[in-house]
Amino acid sequence: MQNLLQKQIFPALQSDWLKAPHDGALLAEGLAFTTDSYVVSPLEFPGGDIGSLAVFGTVNDLAMCGARPRWLSLALILEEGLPLEQLQRILHSIQQAAGRCQVEIVTGDTKTVERGKGDGLFITTTGLGTLLSTPPPHPSRIQTGDAILINGDLGRHGLAVLAQRQKLELEGPLFSDCAPVHAEVEALLQAGIELRCLRDPTRGGVASVLHELAQASGLSFQLEETCLPLHEEVQAVCEILGFDPLYLANEGKFLAFVPAPQAEAALQILKHFNSEAAQIGAVTQASPTPTVNLKSPWGTTRTLDLLSGEQLPRIC
């Protein structure tokens, strides 16, 4: 995907807006603007479905821009043969998710394609929100010494979708963490926390997102393995199947870069929403070749690189 974007899509479009490695565009009118498409398979999974995923995912991208989500568009591509009962469940889920986030769906589009051409249902959402902070969070604002926080445990969405898709029989059900995070971001801003940068680790997980931010900022990051919040079920499945939880998708989590003196105050606010929020690392130094490193419990370190492919395709 990175090669496709850098070598084909961005050069063809020649837009300065697309050069900023961010979850949305920050418009001069005090608005944040984002769009995303959702192709998850299966359409319904423990803890969510493609409908709630589309709403929460777009709301969260606006939150990562430091914006309060306000309006959404909704485009549906329906495949011939999609059961109407399933469509109604997903539409109800969309309505419930929008109500939970207090956003309005104000426009949209619906298309149908022949059987075998659409994998059931694809959804595209676009979101507009009003910026809450000046300057807003941005990768260019990351500084050496900043603390790296996460608002909860890792990897559940990717494994929940995999378990449903492959009909894995686990001792206990794995539920996706699909949820909105804008209330947590607003709480941090209202408390006066300086949010240097925010990013939600969806496709590619925490490691991929941090790698992109390291390249964008020219700074290196170090994570502490002992500080990573993982559920026992996630850790067990990863050990059995050979997955690295740092590369698994999340849909209700975000990384926050904050000044080190404010890290503890920010962490206490996040713990009001999720007791598993944690500081997982720090920004170390500027470098011509920025890296993301993971320090083990035994004091050794390894570099976290971008994967050559996705561990789990079609998860968002």
Compute the distance between CA of residue 315 and CA of residue 158 in angstroms, rounded to an integer.
Answer: 6
Please tell me the predicted confidence (pLDDT) of residue 153: 97
Please state, for a pLDDT cut of 70, what percent of the chain lies above it.
97
**Hey, what CATH class is 21-131 in?**
alpha beta
Which of these CATH numbers, 3.30.200.20, 3.40.50.1970, 3.90.650.10, 3.30.420.40, describes 139-303? 3.90.650.10
Residues in the chain: 316
Distant-in-sequence, close-in-space partners of 73: CB < 8 Å, separation ≥ 6: 105, 106, 107, 108, 109, 125, 126, 127
Compute the distance between CA of residue 89 and CA of residue 164 in angstroms, rounded to an integer.
Answer: 18
311 and 158 Cβ atoms separated by less than 8 Å? yes
The CA-atom distances, in angstroms, between 70 and each of 44, 59, 73, 141 are 26, 9, 11, 25
Among residues 28, 34, 46, 25, which one has the least CA distance to residue 70?
Answer: 34
Task: Please report, for the chain, the start and end positions of each structural domain, with discontinuous segments joined by +.
Answer: 21-131, 139-303
Return the minimum-mean-pLDDT range out of 9-18, 62-71, 211-220: 9-18
Please tell me the predicted confidence (pLDDT) of residue 310: 63
Among residues 150, 179, 153, which one has the least CA distance to residue 252?
Answer: 179
Please tell me the predicted confidence (pLDDT) of residue 18: 72
Please tell me the predicted confidence (pLDDT) of residue 83: 97
Summarize the confidence of residues 80-86 as an average pLDDT.
Answer: 97
185 and 63 Cβ atoms separated by less than 8 Å? yes
Please tell me the predicted confidence (pLDDT) of residue 308: 67
Please tell me the predicted confidence (pLDDT) of residue 171: 73
Return the minimum-mean-pLDDT range out of 12-26, 92-106, 127-141, 204-218: 12-26
Q: Dump pLDDT digits (tens) for 124-178.
A: 999 999 999 889 999 999 999 999 999 999 999 999 999 898 888 777 778 999 9
Distant-in-sequence, close-in-space partners of 42: CB < 8 Å, separation ≥ 6: 161, 164, 165
Cα of first residue to Cα of last residue in the chain, in angstroms, is 14
Strand partners, 293: 222, 303
Compute the distance between CA of residue 303 and CA of residue 221 in angstroms, rounded to an integer.
Answer: 10
Q: What is the pTM of this model?
A: 0.93
pLDDT at 205 over 90: yes
Three-class DSSP labels, 68-129:
EEEEEEEEEEEECCCCHHHHHHHHHHHHHHHHHHCCEEEEEEEEEECCCCCCCEEEEEEEEE
Tokens of 207: 């490691």
Q: Which residue has the higher pLDDT, 7 or 249?
A: 249
Q: Dump pLDDT digits (tens) for 263-312.
A: 999 999 999 999 999 999 999 988 888 999 999 999 899 999 887 666 66
Please tell me the predicted confidence (pLDDT) of residue 311: 64
Q: Dump pLDDT digits (tens) for 211-245.
A: 999 999 999 999 999 999 999 889 988 988 889 99
Summarize the confidence of residues 249-267 as an average pLDDT.
Answer: 97
Q: Which residue is associated with the tokens 């000044």?
A: 259
